[in-house]
Structure 1
């Protein structure tokens, strides 16, 4: 899926449309696609290193592996005192991940798609946006436009 193709926006919008009508069966698989895309986008834009094995792994553990790689990089930069994330962003990461894991990934990995409700999946979609937002800042200040940090240790 290429970001410039707009496909990811169609997936996001279609997922929201399904959730608005309560159709969780069709929305659930799209959330996984959207979440993996957003994780890969964060990794790519912020320059987070990932083990080579992740690139060739296409199973239901992909999201967990990407989350683990992001967490490891954040922890490393934080321990070194070089993390550019604001304290609220750093605090928001585990909250977003907990929402995503408890309301989506834990059910998805066991194949229990029938356990989803539209409101819980809407919360998951918002948590995905919040997670990605933890790696962005407003630029220029006051503009309402957000950009990804250049790296975990550099804003621009």
Structure 2
């Protein structure tokens, strides 16, 4: 529980632009998680994939997109398959960071992964990811990758 709360604090610190505090708090959260013994119920829902996601969100807020992308990829690799909602949100963040970094084809590939699971989850945050994705690809209509993605996404918006 302490690791989770520290991770959330770091996300808030990063959003406020306090990079040094956010990085220090993330380091403390990592230490707390490593010390968890697995007996408390909170540990079952907060694990290294969750921490990696919080680290990524904080670093993205601080402008370190390459580190955020790496951490989101780690989060996805370690995220249990049954945590569909968390995987979906992580895929959305990852795709958005790829797009912001100018890696449009990789973003489209990741958004396709997002769309694979989108019908299986009811979540306003996922709906927001879908809306942002559709808005972003509209400005790249000439790309075959975005055309295919737009056509697929239209199925979910109808």
TM (normalized to structure 2)?
0.35
Q: Report which of the two has the higher share of helix.
A: 2
* Greater Rg over alpha carbons, structure: 2
TM (normalized to structure 1)?
0.35
